[in-house]
Amino acid sequence: MTDHNNHSHDHADHTHSLVRSDEIAGVSDARLLWAVGLNQLLTVGQVVAGILSGSIALLSGAAHNFNDANALLIAYIARRISKKEANERYTFGYRRAEMIGALINLTLLGVIGLYLVYEGVKRLFFPEEIIGWMMAATAVLALIVDVGTALLLWKMSRGSLNVRAAFVHNIVDALGSVAVLIGAAAIIWLDWVWVDAAITLLIAGYVLWQVVKMLPLVTRVLMEGTPPGLDLDALIADVIRVDGVEGLHHLHVWELDEQHRAIEAHVLILESRTSDLESIKREVKHCLVERYNIAHSTLEFEVGGSENRDCDESNAIVSH
């Protein structure tokens, strides 16, 4: 006796999804395209200014912004793909396209972070002359663009790890621009050339910290891990407390994407209650939705004492 229930449900207590999916659905994708254009223009400006001024912090910022533009483009493409309807080839739809986009963005962000570490250490040992005023002027321009891009992405970033990864890129850039501006002042008035390398290392540290913080969230979804904060023992206990339910086994809980959880399980019911199957099923599903925000459920109902349990339990969580 198998029941398959598949519909959309937004869960408020998800640890890393902060708004309902329908709240970000109406945000124009044009914002992402504007952000791509702004970051590409900024990249060109920083490369030119970095070469002319001799500032590795500006060149590092240019590399980071170029990566930002690519990250935003990936975010745009992934977001468009994720909206496609399910079909015979992809029966769950394309929801995880955004997760794949986030993984690519974070990987690129990690590479940039390691590159900044290399450049910063090299400049500490081999400092070069820097034109402070050009460094400062470019930092001001970069800060304006970074803040503008972050504002374009802010609302979208609250409901998507993919867009949030791109958003973090720009927050890092904005903080980096402030640091570069302060460093330029130190170079102009104090002739502290070493500050350029120190700022680069500071930016790199923040970049790598963000990667370490966000990457596990993405990999958990892609690896079909149990949703964070969900207590499996409590879930089993709550389902068994439903009148007529004797046990729960072959239990698997995962996330389709940031807004949708799914479960499949075998529910063991008392032989004396088989006539109440429909009411038991409704109560179990109500429990899953209301207490655990799981609306996509595939449940197979078995009668207590049944010998018809032919599934492999080697990778299942079993409770009788």
* Strand order across the beta sheet in which 317-319 lies: 2-5, 296-303, 261-269, 245-255, 317-319
204 and 266 co-located in one domain: no
The reported pLDDT for the residue numbered 251 is 92
214 and 243 co-located in one domain: no
The reported pLDDT for the residue numbered 267 is 93
Q: Pick the last residue of a domain from 222, 242, 260.
A: 222
- 3-state DSSP call for residue 192? coil
The reported pLDDT for the residue numbered 29 is 64
The reported pLDDT for the residue numbered 155 is 64
Angle at 68 between CA 63 and CA 74, to 5 degrees: 130
Sign of the four-CA dihedral 265, 271, 276, 277: positive
197 and 236 co-located in one domain: no
Q: Pick the last residue of a domain from 168, 202, 222.
A: 222
134 and 241 co-located in one domain: no
- Which residue range(s) make up the domain with 285? 232-319
Q: What does the block give as tokens for 93?
A: 């739809």
- List all residues 6 or more positions away from 30 whose beta carbon is below 8 Å from its beta carbon: none
Residue 2 lies in a domain: no
248 and 286 co-located in one domain: yes
Q: pLDDT digit string (tens) for 210-267? A: 788 888 888 888 898 888 888 999 999 999 999 999 988 899 999 877 778 899 999 9
- List all residues 6 or more positions away from 150 whose beta carbon is below 8 Å from its beta carbon: 167, 170, 171, 174
Q: pLDDT digit string (tens) for 88-106? A: 888 777 777 778 877 887 8
The reported pLDDT for the residue numbered 274 is 85
The answer to whether 226 touches 262, Cβ cutoff 8 Å, is: no
122 and 208 co-located in one domain: yes
Burial category of 146 from C-beta neighbours within 10 Å (exposed 0-12, middle 13-18, buried 19 and up): buried
Place of tokens 């596990």: 216
The answer to whether 149 touches 38, Cβ cutoff 8 Å, is: yes
Q: pLDDT digit string (tens) for 159-211? A: 565 566 667 767 777 777 887 888 888 888 888 888 888 888 887 887 788 78
Q: Pick the last residue of a domain from 194, 222, 250.
A: 222
Q: What is the CATH number of the domain that holds 267?
A: 3.30.70.1350
